A and B are shown apart, each in its own frame.
Chain A
Amino acid sequence: MAVRTAVVSSRVGRPGPLVTTVAVLLVAATFVPLGYIVSTIFSTGLDQAADLVFRPRVGELLRNTAGLVVLTVPICVVLGVGLAWVVERTAVPGAAWWGPVFAAPLAVPAFVNSYGWVSAFPTMHGLSAGVVISTMSYFPLVYLPAAATLRRLDPSVEESARALGSGPVAVFLRIVLPQLRLAILGGGLLISLHLLAEYGAFVMVRFDTFTTAIFEQYQSSFAGPAGSMLAGVLVLCCLVLLAGEAAARGSARYARIGSGAPRAATRVRLGLGAIPVLVALTAVTAGALGVPLWTIVRWLRSGGAKVWDLGEIGQALGQTVALAAMAALITTLCAFPVAWIAVRSTSTFARIVEGANYITSSLPGIVIALAMVTVTIRWAPPLYQTVTMVVAAYVLMFLPRALVSVRAGLAQVPIGLEEVSRSLGQSGVATFLRVTLRLTAPAAASAGALVFVAVATELTATLLLAPSGTRTLAMRFWSLSGELDYAAAAPYALIMIVAAVPVTYLLFTQSRKAAGV
């Protein structure tokens, strides 16, 4: 019996040919954008490439982009961790209510947030505007993991420190903060990558980054060498961030040894301090949710019924939902083989498969789209400007979002159940459908939802790759707000936010579940 089990389990553990093929195809596709940029550098000629890279404008963009990251990420970390600590560890009034409020800004696309702020303060522009808007859009990316970690931390360590004479500040700095390191690094990396990739939010406040400049170059010369060189520098920035985060994460482990759930920590009483804390929480809420929502309501009121062109809105909504649903489905399906290999195998191949996808997802959509436009025109003309191609770009861009969920789901499937199914004579496919898929369905659903929202608000890749006649919600919003017809843009902004609300709620509940609460 023992022998038989061993044989079956090795079959269960090894990726089959289908899984391997899909994974290999995905890895190959992953290298298309990078390969495109490298090949343009050579086809441009190294001299001209150097001229295009080493020029004052690139220095200017590098300063802007670096300034943005250096200012925004620490602010988001302080804000996210601070809010998480207040919500999770103090007796602030309405603690249960603040939790979802600080996850909610994730439902507001950054360019809609920008539209809100620019409407309220029309003279906002440049670096300061970029920092304000991206802080308000992205701080939940630190808040959510920080809050989840705080819930999971065993308070007994903090209590011991207090018993040994440390004050509350010292306990926070020496005990709590180090344990938040992974949440801070992970959230900080995500925010940095968002900052590098964001286009619409920064154009609206006239702040030039690599991504906005690449788009300008694209507008002026389609897929010209200057745009590709900027893309090359941007890719380098992304790789530096990825490497930096990996190095900072180090190999220290923070897991709790032993079984059992930690007790809930005793909440700090704020006393009179509750007033300034409440003021601060309200201010953040007003900035992140109040400003965009107030702007949308104001424009909807001033636009009246005539901005609700139901024909156009309906068409945009239909196309957006169709694209997002297709991308969500296919991306989630593609995530399974990759997650399978990542969870069940420790081979070098597994590491390559996983790593490759993270690198591509760190590339801004504009770079991936530029590469795919050029590649399909030259080598796959039948795929050019098809739904297939734009969906393929979405898969490359958003696979890691699906991967995170699917992998977590797959890791919790007891291999024993699959083994039992196989030993009862079921085929691999049947086992997958009846056992594995059923157990990972919730994880797959949340993966699909994440991709759905990402695609529904995606702009640059859709603009470049979609079939003629495509006008998604984001495209319409962008063209109307670009002409400063803010009233007509308002319905599109509202619909995009409403569509993202359920997923944001899901993310919020997932982050609590992950903490075992």
Chain B
Amino acid sequence: MVSVRWKSVSATVAVAVAALGMTACSNSSDDTNEITVYNAQHESLTKEWVDAFTKQTGIKVTLRQGGDTALGNQLVAEGAASPADVFLTENSPAMALVENAGLFADVDKQTLDQVPAQFRPSTGKWTGIAARSTVFVYNKNKIAADQLPASLLDLAQPQWKDRWGAGVSGADFQAIVAGLLALKGEDTTRAWLKGMKENATAFPNNVATMKAVNSGRPDGGVIYHYYWYRDQANTKESSADTALHYFKNQDPGAFVSVSGGGVLKSSKKQESAQKFLAFITAEAGQEILRDGNSMEYPVASAVAANPALPPLADLQAPSVDPSKLDAKKVTALMTEAGLL
């Protein structure tokens, strides 16, 4: 997966030296056999998709790795000049951001037909490709089952001071806040974030949060389900002393986040880009979610989840339109609360 631009590096050295680094490098060619994907999904999962896709179609894929919101905002800033053909995220808010900027092309009908309506926006400007559930991971030695919070909102209460953590700067946690905002409104969210600033420890991401909870500092954390299942399936090194608590009851803490995929309107390789999206939502792509080690939920082509996971239908997730999740507002509210 060496990009075309990298192959020309040695040639560029000479050119760049001659012009003291002020010369432009070759831009990506218009070759439809190579697409650029702005990838905010886990690199390992997307790589599995890409390898299978390239094997099937011969279309090469270059990945630009980044976080959901960073890449989403980047696409908005790039506008029509974006070098990206496809955008994949872990969550929905960044997809909504790009959709609202009018940058997505319509997703092929055949692709949309593969994905049930609850896992994609009604506009058809992008589609769900996978899903992940919010959970409360807790240290079994620190919290008894009957002391668990009934709702995500409880974690802002004083009795939870210094007892929980989350990957504050990551898109995962910000998507959960976006769910809260969509379900309970701005005032509740603002108050909850203020309580969180008082109570919670900030970690760089979900894995770090889970590992810390496993060591008992803090007692619990808000993460997504699959980090725990993945660790359990492997060495249990970061989760042996922990258990998962599902909030259920349509609580904001039972939020199921839809990972998104969309094709950029500005892409000159519409056909290849649409093919890629069709591939990952087709059976072969979704089976990678079931059989691989990502432990995320498949959402399309009626592929069942990995048998280790509780069925998605049993999680009693609140119903949120994924295109209504507002990343910008969330960042602003978290900045206001002093979390960012």
Q: Report A's interface with B, CB cutoff 8 A.
A: 22, 25, 52, 55-57, 60, 122-123, 203-204, 206, 208, 213, 216-224, 226, 315, 319, 322, 325-326, 329-330, 333-334, 373-374, 377, 381-388, 391-392, 395, 463, 467-471, 479, 482-484
Contact = CB atoms under 8 A, between A and B. Distances in A.
A468 B331 CA distance: 26
B43 interface: yes
Given A203-B204, A217-B340, A468 B62 contact: yes
A334 B20 contact: yes
B340 A226 contact: yes
Contacts of B3: 467-470
A55 B337 CA distance: 10
A113 B225 CA distance: 31
Interface string B19-45: 011111101000000001010000100
Nearest to A374: B77
Given A218-B70, A484-B208, A469 B64 contact: yes
A373 B328 CA distance: 20
Given A221-B331, A382-B27, A468 B78 contact: no
B81 A384 contact: yes
Interface of B: 1-3, 5-6, 9-10, 12-13, 16-17, 20-25, 27, 36, 38, 43, 62-67, 69-74, 76-78, 81, 83, 168-171, 174, 201-205, 207-208, 211, 215, 217, 238, 327-328, 331, 334-336, 338-340
Contacts of B171: 219-220
B320 to A, nearest CB: 20
B92 to A, nearest CB: 15
Nearest to A220: B331
Contact of A468 (B64, B169, B170, B208): B64
B191 to A, nearest CB: 16
Contact of A391 (B21, B72, B340): B21
Given A221-B69, A385-B83, A388-B21, A469 B335 contact: no
A319 B1 CA distance: 13
Nearest to A475: B65
Would you call the interface of chain A mostly helix, strand, loop, or mixed? helix
A471 B63 CA distance: 10
Nearest to A337: B20
Contacts of A463: 66
A91 to B, nearest CB: 47
B174 to A, nearest CB: 7
B17 A468 contact: no
Contacts of B62: 468-469
B6 A467 contact: yes
Contacts of B339: 57
B77 A388 contact: no
In the complex, which of the residues A381, A385, A471, A482 has the most CB atoms of chain B within 10 Å of its own CB atom?
A385
Given A482-B205, A483-B207, A220 B16 contact: no
In the complex, which of the residues A383, A386, A467 has the most CB atoms of chain B within 10 Å of its own CB atom?
A467
Contacts of A213: 340
A377 B77 contact: yes
A56 B198 CA distance: 13
B101 to A, nearest CB: 12
Contact of B202 (A22, A206, A373): A206
A386 B25 CA distance: 6
Contacts of B17: 326, 329-330, 333
A140 B17 CA distance: 33
A373 B83 CA distance: 14
A326 B339 CA distance: 39
B83 A468 contact: yes
Contacts of B202: 206, 208
10 contacts: A206-B208, A217-B331, A222-B71, A319-B9, A322-B6, A387-B5, A387-B12, A468-B63, A468-B64, A471-B65
A385 to B, nearest CB: 6
- CB-CB nearest 4 A-B residue pairs: A222-B73, A469-B3, A468-B64, A216-B169
B20 A57 contact: no
B138 to A, nearest CB: 18
B203 A222 contact: no
B338 A56 contact: yes
B24 A322 contact: no
A25 B62 CA distance: 34
Contacts of B12: 326, 387-388
Contacts of A22: 20
B43 A479 contact: yes
A206 B43 CA distance: 23
Contacts of A395: 21
B20 A333 contact: yes
Given A219-B70, A222-B69, A386 B331 contact: no
Contacts of A204: 204
A220 B340 contact: yes
A221 B328 contact: yes
Contacts of B328: 221
Contacts of B9: 319, 322, 326, 387
A388 B16 contact: yes
Contact of B22 (A217, A222, A326, A388): A388
Contacts of A25: 20, 22
Given A218-B70, A326-B12, A330-B16, 10 more contacts: A57-B340, A206-B204, A222-B76, A226-B340, A386-B27, A388-B24, A463-B66, A467-B3, A469-B6, A482-B205
B204 A482 contact: yes
Nearest to A483: B207
A388 B23 contact: yes
Given A122-B215, A221-B69, A469 B21 contact: no
